[in-house]
Amino acid sequence: MVGLDWRSAPLAVRERLQLGREDQVLHFLGQLPWPAVVLATCHRVEVYVHVAAPVEPVLAELERLLAGRGGLSPAAVTAHAIRRNGEAAVRHLVEVACGLQSAVLGEPQILGQVRAALELARRAQRADWALHRLFERAVHAGKEVRTQTRLGRGGPSLARAAVRRLAEAGLDGAREELVVVGSGEMAMLAVREAAAAGWRRIIVCARRPDQALARAEAALAGRDRAGAVALGARAIGEMEELLAGCGAVISATTAPGPVILAPVLRRALERRAGRRLCVVDLAVPRDVEVPDPLPAGLHVWSVDELVPAGDSVALSGPEDLERARALAAGEAAAYLEWYRQRRAVDALRDLRRQADAIREEELALALRRLGDGLSEAQREVLARMAHRLTNKLLHLPMLYLKAVAAGEVTQEEHRAPPQAVSSAGRLAG
């Protein structure tokens, strides 16, 4: 795996490499000669591939392709990228699916994002047996964590962190109007969290306002029983008017570039007559083109500037966190054992097939050279001898591969010839 996340790379780098749309992922997958799955969220861009050793050239090529995707130099990507191989890559993905690697610990959205990454790779016919099983087991681990622990049950999310930031800034949802830009999952989460936090007037702003309004109403269905929230919808073209009159903005689109432009912000601020404007930008790439210099009264927070919500930790406590980590470790170990056994079975089958083919080829050659004077009994003796010889030559390698599959061979022994392992008594019985 090669990836960049919120800890290793600044937002300015990550947004250049973002693969948030299906067409972008499919195009990137089409550039790769190996089985691969791409996991891209607002906090991470990670590419998982299944390849044989040596892996270093593959990892370097992945970084080069990511750099080309973002118009960056390979060195710029390498400076921030994290490489994980083998067991480390497996453990990392499982922990990601469990919400243990999220900026907002236990966020529930990541599980769906891992599932969607696998589904897209399957549709593109790029996920082979190893990646398919790995991502399925990671999703299973995430479900286990959510059912067996309280981690994430409070619904911690970036949307909740955004609403919390507005409250910390002193905004009163009972009196102010909130504009939510976008109509996707994150935008609808923001609508739901804002309503739960007491915002009573929410305007959704999107390219198709009718569709955005329908989604917002669905997001609040059953949650706003008293009809306390007044929902409205406006088009992107009305952005300046909305910014001039609202109390705050949460923007969360999947647009490839800014949807709230600096000149629009400047004009809206002039119309606000000194009233401050608070904007939370949850999008990657960023939705907000921040004016330079920053005008007085404008406060803009990017996704990396939100303080991680502590709800999940407060609700679960260290015991549940430890339990979640144990579940993730157990699932990763189970996958690795399955993988070793699967590889050993494949290797055994291939070894047997190749040995049988060589035996038949050499036996046929020997019989031709001996001519037609051999009796059927003599031919049978030669055939049985060739079969027994093949089996005896395969005996030690077969035992060795089975020991590898069972985890009875250490990493050091794995690099040694089978004879060394046998002499150490590892294959006794």
Domain count, the chain: 3
Q: Is residue 201 part of a domain?
A: yes
State whether 287 and 181 are in the same domain: yes
> Count H helices, E strands: the chain?
16, 10
The answer to whether 131 and 142 are in contact (CB under 8 A) is: no
Q: What is the pLDDT of residue 404?
A: 66
**Tens-digit pLDDT profile for residues 157-199:** 889 999 999 999 999 999 999 999 999 999 999 999 999 999 9
- Using only C-alpha atoms, the chain has a radius of gyration, in whole angstroms, of 29
Q: 423 versus 58: which is more confidently predicted?
A: 58
Residue 44: Cβ-neighbour burial (10 angstroms; 0-12, 13-18, 19+) = buried
State whether 176 and 129 are in the same domain: no
Lowest mean pLDDT among 66-70, 133-137, 306-310: 306-310
Q: Is residue 315 part of a domain?
A: no
pTM: 0.78
- Whether 413 shows a pLDDT value over 80: the answer reads no
Q: Is residue 405 part of a domain?
A: yes
The closest of 247, 238, 246, 249 to 287, measured between CA atoms, is: 249
**Phi-psi region at 293: left, alpha or beta (left = phi > 0; alpha = psi -120 to 50):** beta
State whether 141 and 165 are in the same domain: no
CA distance 400 to 405: 9
Question: What three-state secondary structure class fits 397?
Answer: helix
* Residue 311 banded pLDDT, cuts 50, 70, 90: very low
Q: What is the pLDDT of residue 150?
A: 82
State whether 296 and 349 are in the same domain: no
Q: Which positions are annotated as active-site residues?
A: 42
State whether 135 and 239 are in the same domain: no
State whether 129 and 163 are in the same domain: no
**Tens-digit pLDDT profile for residues 224-267:** 765 789 999 999 999 999 999 999 999 999 898 999 999 999 99
* Residue 214 banded pLDDT, cuts 50, 70, 90: very high
Cis omega (within 30 of 0) on the bond before 35?
no
Q: Is residue 322 part of a domain?
A: no
Counting residues of the chain whose pLDDT is more than 70, the rounded percentage is 90
Q: Is residue 65 part of a domain?
A: yes
State whether 208 and 116 are in the same domain: no
Which residue range forms the structural domain that includes residue 206?
158-305
**Phi-psi region at 170: left, alpha or beta (left = phi > 0; alpha = psi -120 to 50):** left
* CATH number of the CATH domain containing 19: 3.30.460.30
CA distance 134 to 40: 17
State whether 142 and 270 are in the same domain: no
* Token reading at 422: 């046998």
The closest of 146, 144, 105 to 334, measured between CA atoms, is: 144
**Tens-digit pLDDT profile for residues 314-344:** 445 688 889 999 999 999 999 998 898 888 7
- Whether 410 shows a pLDDT value over 70: the answer reads no
